[in-house]
């Protein structure tokens, strides 16, 4: 179980628990499309990040607990500079939990200094972090790829990634308003890596009805080693709309781990490579670079969730 944590301000949390039709006025979202809901005791390190902008409006992103108090996410999830006392990190399988032991207050946050958060091309450095007010216990932390053997085993075009997030299940223009059944629940989907950027600091995956979507921004892309262990291979950055019609872009976290250590004290690098310069992210054997034309379709994936008193109703998903 998670240790008891400081609770999200009651009024703010209640506004999130009200009806949730998706609104306009912010970059349209990207949730897991074509995925399956995740039981509460699986992928426990994947969390929802909520930032309350007004009494009735919340912003939703996803993140990954990489140390007892450190959540790795995307820079664009934090670029609007939310107020600390109006933020919360939610553990579990849904943002609608009423168990305050699964809701953590935020002490501080930060973004990578050269991060691109809008109209980004290749290598956006779209990384940020959130520091919890207390340690989280009972959570299985999945480390990022930090060794050459792990990279060489898992990071090739065609290798599968497992994307987890709390985002919406669709974002087509002709979709009806989303409700609490459609967003805010942890979901997972599996898809192969399609391409890499020339630097190999980003990769693309998704399409054909399997994709990240709004609210999944900042969430993890995991890979599985032959040993059965999982590693964090990417952080969800941006994609195309409607979700599932093209690839999303994921940033490889290894190049920013020295920065993350300086900012948070969380040292995720191996003892034999403290400077974070030992992993060679080799060029693929064949043409796998992200084209500039395809990158022009990319867009940031933050999801604004608008709460309102009158609850939208919909039949439960099967």
Mean per-residue pLDDT over the chain, rounded: 77
For residues 165 and 215, give the distance between their C-alpha atoms in angstroms, rounded to a whole number.
Answer: 7
Predicted structure pTM score: 0.78
DSSP letter string over 252-292? -SGGGHHHHHHHH----S-TT-TTS-----PPPSS--BPPH
Mention every residue, 6+ apart, whose C-beta is less than 8 A from residue 39: 93
Q: Which of 273, 288, 291 is nearest to 150 (CA)?
A: 273
Assign 182 a pLDDT band (cuts: 50, 70, 90).
confident
Domains and CATH numbers, the chain: 1-318 (2.40.10.120)
Preceding amide of 241 cis, omega within 30: no
For residue 96, the model assigns a pLDDT of: 84
- Residue percentage of the chain with pLDDT more than 70: 69
Decide: residue 258, CB within 10 A, 0-12 exposed, 13-18 middle, 19+ buried.
middle
Taking only the tens place, the pLDDT of each residue in 113-170 is 999 998 888 899 999 999 999 999 889 999 999 999 999 999 999 999 999 999 876 6
The mean pLDDT value for 214-224 works out to: 94
Q: Per-residue pLDDT averaged across 246-253, rounded?
A: 93
**Residue 174's pLDDT band (boundaries 50, 70, 90)?**
low
Please state, in angstroms and rounded to a whole number, the distance separating the CA atoms of residues 95 and 156: 34
The rounded distance, in Å, linking the Cα atoms of 137 and 45 is 10
- Residues 208-227: what's their mean pLDDT? 89
8-state DSSP, 109: E
Q: How far apart are the first and last CA of the chain?
A: 28
């Amino acid at each position: 179980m998670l240790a008891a944590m400081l609770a999200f301000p009651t009024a703010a949390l209640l506004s999130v628990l009200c009806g949730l039709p998706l609104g306009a006025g912010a970059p349209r979202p990207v949730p897991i499309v074509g995925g399956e809901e995740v039981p509460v005791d699986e992928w426990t390190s994947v969390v929802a990040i909520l930032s309350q902008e007004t009494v009735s409006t919340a912003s939703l992103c996803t993140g990954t607990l990489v140390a007892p108090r450190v959540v790795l996410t995307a820079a664009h999830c934090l670029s609007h500079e939310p107020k600390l006392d109006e933020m919360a990190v939610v553990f579990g399988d849904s943002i609608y939990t009423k168990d305050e032991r699964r809701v953590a207050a935020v002490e501080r946050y930060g973004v990578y200094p050269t991060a691109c958060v809008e109209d980004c091309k290749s290598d956006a450095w779209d990384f940020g972090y959130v520091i919890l007010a207390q340690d989280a216990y009972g959570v299985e932390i999945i480390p990022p790829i930090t060794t050459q053997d792990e990279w060489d085993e898992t990071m090739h075009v065609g290798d599968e990634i497992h994307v987890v997030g709390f985002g919406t299940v669709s974002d087509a223009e002709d979709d009806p308003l989303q409700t609490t059944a459609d967003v805010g629940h942890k979901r997972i989907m599996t898809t192969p890596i399609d391409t890499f950027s020339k630097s190999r600091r980003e990769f693309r995956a998704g399409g054909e009805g399997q994709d990240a979507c709004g609210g999944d921004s900042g969430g993890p892309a995991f890979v599985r080693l032959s040993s059965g262990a999982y590693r964090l291979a990417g952080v969800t950055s941006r994609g195309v709309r409607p979700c599932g019609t093209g690839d999303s872009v994921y940033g490889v976290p290894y190049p920013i781990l020295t920065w993350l250590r300086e900012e948070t004290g969380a040292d995720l690098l191996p003892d034999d490579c403290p400077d974070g310069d030992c992993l060679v992210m080799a060029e693929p054997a064949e043409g796998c670079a992200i084209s500039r034309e395809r990158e022009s379709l990319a867009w940031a994936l933050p999801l604004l969730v608008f709460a309102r008193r009158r609850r939208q109703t919909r039949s439960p998903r099967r």
